[in-house]
A and B are shown apart, each in its own frame.
Chain A
Amino acid sequence: MADLSLPATPTRKPGLLAAGSAIARHRFLSHPKVRLALVLLVPIILLTIFAPILPIQKPLETNLRAMMQFPSIEHVFGTDKMGRDIFSRTLAGVQVSLLVGFSVAGIALVFGMVLGTLAGFYGGLIDRAIMTVVDIFLAFPSLLLAIGLVSVMGTGMVPVILAISLADVPRFIRLQRSQVLSLRSRAFIDAARTVDASQFWLMSRHIVPNTLAAMLVAASIAAANAILVEASLSFLGLGIMPPQPSLGNIVRDGQTYLEQAWWISTLPGVVILLIAIGLHFLSDGVRELLDPRSR
């Protein structure tokens, strides 16, 4: 006769928690999309970190005896009109990209969660005030809002990060608010209320943890988007300014020499594309892991 008894319910001992997180890590690393993302992103990140000790020319170093050279073993991505090594400049640019991507994702996540939770949880006047401002910000196409903001704040790393974040925060507030609104009316919140849980307890223990999954997915999409926007701004001459390399301004530099030296513009663009694909699969994988229904 088949064994119809229920499987033993696992009892939660403190030691199991560590085991649980190890299992979670294993599941994360064995997810095919996450694996593909890591295969793309890890080498790029490692190369960026170790760029200073790699046997390549420094990003700002010129060499007038090796101008506009076709890609070779010595110069993997070729050289530009001043004999600078494009590969080394690209790695320096990736460093800028990653910094911008993670900063924007972090800023958008923090401000989005705080303001979105307040708006959704308290409702009323706070909600209306926050959402009115959010709606106004969302009336601007995001690249144009960033362009407008850097035109006021000036060029450089910090203004670019702030401008892109300001364009992203409203989207995060809206997402967080809609999640909080739907959670607020759930039974477990009522249950916590009946035992006189404080509002801070409700928000920090019951609401925010349940919104984290969607926000993390949104953050990884925002990081990819921020990298693209920074590159676009720098390409238009409004973001990171030369001589400091950024993927956008390297491509811009090469535009003038497209016919004679196509590699200056096209190869750094391929790297942006690889990072974008990596972050896309990472966010997709994380979403599938955190939300079993979407599989």
Chain B
Amino acid sequence: MAEYTAKKLAQMLITVIGVITLVFFTLRLIPGDAASAMAGDTLSGEALQVLRDQMGLDEPLLSQYLGFLRDLAMIDLGETITTRIPIADLLWRALPITLSIAMATIVLSIVISIPLGTLAAFMAHKGRNWLDNGLTGAAMLIDLMPPFWTALVLLLIFSLGLGWFPASGQLDWSNPGSVALRLALPVIVLSLSQVATLARITRTAVLEVLNEDYVRTARSMGWSELRVLFRHALKNAALPIATVVGLSFGNLLGGTVIVEFIFTIPGVGNLLIAGINSRDYQLVQTLIVLYALLFVVINFATDLIYKTLDPRVQF
């Protein structure tokens, strides 16, 4: 296990350095340079040169690159170029919000999809196909809905129509109840597509196990259906579910950008959009690297969980 972890860790490190390199050089490909793209027509001559100095754009490319690597390693994220606020401060406020949304979505979707997928598998196993087909069809439909559209429809019905959830307003962390209400709809929107995928995976995994000989043996020993389910079926379904949760984390991060935008939640996604709109490349490059880092770390964790759940895995 230690050797496996070390190997995966080394792989992750190479990927991370690659990611940082790619982001760095892509931003240097901007026609003209980042400073003039940022300023547009507003600055010229000397003022533009000041901005260029500030961004270090006149230094040799290699020293810029090494400086960027060093700053990231020291977690010195610098300041936003337009408003001169330390990026670390912005993240300190935004990141917990985005992570809460992502984590709540993962928990909620697992809690809903495992019973749902198991039920569908059971129904298929017992030959009650209409319920299984209904659930599978619904999952497919939900999976195909554009998340921003689903978000608007839910906003229209539950916030504007029924008034169950606030559609806007500050996040007041001293009042957890109000925060939960405020984040409920975004989490539900993101959970919908996660549930669709996870329920389908659970269904397939459980259905496969239900046809195994050892399940028949367990039944013949007089085990109750529930015990068979918990001891055999779900244990085996855990593996593909863990994998899919890890793999779909990237989509989930993309989804947080969209729901934060729609529900005006001050998370990392809105920070990113604001950064792009003000052409603050310092902020944008940091955030894109951060998103990739989160995704890579989650995939690393998934690999380890996978290995723990199934020691046979080589790599």
Contact = CB atoms under 8 A, between A and B. Distances in A.
Nearest to A235: B148
A151 B15 contact: no
Interface residues of B, number: 45
Contacts of A140: 19, 250, 288, 291-292, 295
Contact of A148 (B249, B262, B288): B288
B148 A231 contact: yes
B296 A139 contact: yes
A143 to B, nearest CB: 3
B27 interface: yes
Interface in A151-204: 151-152
Interface stretch (B50-58, B149-157, B210-218, B226-234): B149-157
B258 A280 contact: no
A273 B144 contact: yes
A103 B296 CA distance: 29
A141 B156 contact: no
A258 B263 CA distance: 13
A236 B274 CA distance: 11
A258 to B, nearest CB: 6
Contact of B254 (A133, A142, A151, A258): A142
Contact of A139 (B29, B153, B255, B292): B292
B23 interface: yes
B152 A148 contact: no
Contacts of B156: 258-259, 262, 266
Contacts of A277: 141, 144
B29 A152 contact: yes
Question: Which of B16, B153, B254 has the most A CB atoms < 10 Å from its CB?
Answer: B254
Given A136-B18, A238-B276, A258 B152 contact: yes
B261 A236 contact: yes
A151 B155 CA distance: 28
A269 B18 CA distance: 37
Interface in B266-300: 272-273, 275-277, 284, 288, 291-292, 295-296
Interface residues of A, number: 38
Contacts of A232: 146-148, 254, 258
B5 interface: no
A211 interface: no
A105 B140 CA distance: 22
Contacts of A231: 146, 148
A61 interface: no
Contact of B149 (A135, A147, A269): A269
A151 B23 CA distance: 12
Interface in A251-295: 251, 255, 258-259, 262, 265-266, 269, 272-273, 276-277, 280
A237 interface: yes
Nearest to A149: B26
Given A152-B26, A258-B155, 20 more contacts: A135-B18, A137-B22, A139-B16, A139-B292, A140-B288, A143-B253, A144-B291, A147-B257, A151-B276, A151-B284, A231-B148, A232-B146, A236-B273, A237-B273, A251-B152, A258-B152, A269-B149, A273-B146, A277-B141, A277-B144
Sort A-B residue pairs by CB-CB distance and give the 5 closest, nearest first: A143-B254, A269-B149, A141-B250, A136-B18, A276-B144
Interface of A: 132-133, 135-137, 139-144, 147-149, 151-152, 224, 228, 231-232, 235-238, 248, 251, 255, 258-259, 262, 265-266, 269, 272-273, 276-277, 280
30 contacts: A133-B18, A136-B19, A137-B22, A139-B18, A139-B292, A139-B296, A140-B19, A140-B288, A141-B254, A141-B291, A142-B251, A142-B254, A144-B288, A151-B275, A152-B27, A224-B144, A231-B148, A232-B146, A237-B273, A251-B149, A258-B152, A259-B156, A266-B149, A266-B152, A269-B149, A269-B152, A273-B144, A273-B146, A276-B145, A277-B144
